[in-house]
Structure 1
Amino acid sequence: MQEVVDPMELSLDEGRFLVKIARKAIEHYLRLGEVIKPPRNTPNKLNKYGMSFVTILKYPSNELRGCIGYTQPIEPLVRNVINSAIAASTQDPRFPPMNIGEVNDVIIEVSVLSVPVELRVKGHDLLKEITIGKDGLIVDYGVYKGLLLPEVPVDYCWDEETFLSETCLKAGLKPDCWLSDRVKIYKYYTKTFREVKPQGDIIERNLIDEYKRKCSFLFRD
């Protein structure tokens, strides 16, 4: 079995490398229709198997332009980021494919995922198992599957129950599907790296701090 990258082991420099390679992959594919190869100077850790999502956001509005990724470790992380980046820019069914003229008007965000873990508790006990800003969620019921990244409830100031309900909706199910014993709920964690502006500085997002700061009204008595 291939060793899988733990997101918590990634440094800021490695995160910057992934964001830069995601942008390069998008630009190269939109110009030439070719998938780039991982460069020779790829850090060793990024050649381990891993899962990622690449999110493309319009700048400066932060409006979503595309987001696609993987929840299974099917290839080295660096190659997974390349493939996720190209897919996010050209295959997200919610949006038309990007064109090369857009690349300087978007910012790139890369989230590296841990292996999802099924939550064994049911009903309202699930609320105690979720930490906003740390956990992402997956809902799985037969052919119905939905995933939301940890940054989504932070960006929209959702509480735990809303996060579960929105993940159910993403799966094409009723918002209270998480209360059913037949629905499987998984959680995972990420490290998320993001451009501050197009081709600008790259930071690691501290989602828990963002949530406390941005959504402080949720914590008032």
Structure 2
Amino acid sequence: MAPAPEGPRPLRRRLGGCLRPSRNAAQVGGRLRPDRRGPGRRPLSRRQARRAREGADRFPGGHPERIGQVNGGSPTLSEEGRRDLLGLARATIEARFRGEPPPRLASDRAETFGEPRAVFVTLRIGERLRGCIGTLAPEGDLSRAVPRFAIRAAFEDPRFPALSEPELPECTIEISVLTPPRAIGSPEEIQIGRDGLILEFGGRRSLLLPQVATEWGFDRTTFLAELSRKAGLPPEAWRQAEARLWSFQAEVFSEEERRPV
């Protein structure tokens, strides 16, 4: 269990930036331009830069409570479905390196994923974060959403240089399929290891996946403090009467679980 951090900067360094603050559009454009050239990275197109600035914390219409109208059932995926999605994510990145069109599942397999779901795709090399992009707004069924966010996590995460081809074999791909957010009124409703959190306050928003609290040994108060810091707010901002909190759950699965020991 990792010790609780002394402040946001040490934690962000150790997590490779996965607690990056969400900022207003004007602030992002002026201070954290994702289209600025980094080591080994070509400048993003205008469209890519805009999408990167949106980051992983996008809400349909700006209201997390509306997501449940689109993403209601949230059935558990079968083992075969999980395997299909992980294979599709990797094959899509491999196809990009070869300059080929992205692969598609056969229509009978794609149909098994049903209604749109909110999803995040994470890339890691060992314990180090290498890219993580997703959305709370369901955008097509998972057989279409997962490849799209796999590409974005690999090549468009503004916190990292684009993934290089030699790095791909070292990467582990993880997929988090989210349930609809639910408004919470008290920290006592939060269950560490089960719940991810969304905060909205003062025109800022942030999101932390459930596994962040588990991996770093957070209690409820620390989890909420880091959620506030990710939004670029003081650690106690979540306590303000105007702050709005939502919880959600995630079905998380990765290639690491399927590798022989």
Same fold (TM over 0.5): yes
What is aligned with 1:209? none
Aligned-residue CA RMSD (Å): 2.2
Q: Which structure dedicates a bigger proportion of its chain to strand?
A: 1
What is aligned with 2:81? 14
Confirm or deny that 1:143 pairs with 2:179.
no
Aligned-partner Cα distance in 2 for 1:90–1:194: 19
Task: Give the TM-score taking structure 2 as reference length.
Answer: 0.68
Question: Sequence identity of aligned pairs in percent?
Answer: 34
Shift of 1:2: 7.9
The answer to whether the Cα contact below 8 Å between 1:31 and 1:100 also exists between their aligned partners in 2 is no
Unaligned runs of 5+ in 2: 1-67
Cα deviation per residue 1:194-218 (whole Å; 9 max; x = unaligned)? 1127xx539xxxxxxxxxxxxxxxx
Aligned-partner Cα distance in 1 for 2:72–2:93: 23
* Letter of the structure 1 residue corresponding to residue 139 of structure 2: I
Question: Which of 121, 128, 136 is the aligned partner of 2:188?
Answer: 128
Question: Which of 225, 228, 240 is the aligned partner of 1:168?
Answer: 228
Q: Report the 3-state secondary structure (helix = DSSP H, G, I; strand = E; otherwise coil) of the residue aligned with 1:72.
A: coil
Confirm or deny that 1:100 pairs with 2:165.
yes
Q: Report the 3-state secondary structure (helix = DSSP H, G, I; strand = E; otherwise coil) of the residue aligned with 1:196.
A: helix
Q: Report the 3-state secondary structure (helix = DSSP H, G, I; strand = E; otherwise coil) of the residue aligned with 1:75.
A: coil
Cα deviation per residue 1:16-50 (whole Å; 9 max; x = unaligned)? 21111111112212331744444434242314211
Aligned-partner Cα distance in 1 for 2:74–2:172: 21
Shift of 1:165: 0.9
What is aligned with 1:32? 99
Unaligned runs of 5+ in 1: 203-221
Aligned-partner Cα distance in 2 for 1:173–1:13: 42
Q: Report the 3-state secondary structure (helix = DSSP H, G, I; strand = E; otherwise coil) of the residue aligned with 1:96.
A: coil
Aligned-partner Cα distance in 2 for 1:21–1:2: 27
The answer to whether the Cα contact below 8 Å between 2:70 and 2:138 also exists between their aligned partners in 1 is no
* Letter of the structure 2 residue corresponding to residue 148 of structure 1: L
* Letter of the structure 2 residue corresponding to residue 22 of structure 1: A
Task: Give the TM-score taking structure 1 as reference length.
Answer: 0.79
Q: How many pairs does the alignment contain?
A: 193
* Letter of the structure 2 residue corresponding to residue 91 of structure 1: E
* Letter of the structure 1 residue corresponding to residue 130 of structure 2: R
